[in-house]
Amino acid sequence: MIDTMKLRGIISERGLSQRKVAKNLGMTEKTFYGKMKKGVFDSDEIQQMIELLNIENPVEVFFAQFGA
């Protein structure tokens, strides 16, 4: 499960908006927001975000374990 709060924080820290990230991923804002709401992205999208946002520890963001 994706830690969407952490992902939103990283997007903000990098000076980007969710709109710009969606555009870089080649999807509409609506699609991006829907995926954020569900906390589900496919592996290609995750890889693109890791590179775009320069995420140093992607496991903490994209493979978060809640309540463990």
Inter-CA distances, 9 with 4, 16, 62, 68, Å: 8, 10, 13, 22
What is the per-residue pLDDT for 67? Answer: 55
- Which tens digit of pLDDT belongs to each residue from 4-28? 999 999 999 999 999 999 999 999 9
What is the per-residue pLDDT for 38? Answer: 93
The C-alpha atoms of residue 36 and residue 3 are separated, in whole angstroms, by 9
Model confidence at 66, pLDDT cuts 50, 70, 90, reads low
What is the per-residue pLDDT for 54? Answer: 97
The C-alpha atoms of residue 59 and residue 33 are separated, in whole angstroms, by 21
- Which tens digit of pLDDT belongs to each residue from 45-55? 999 999 999 99
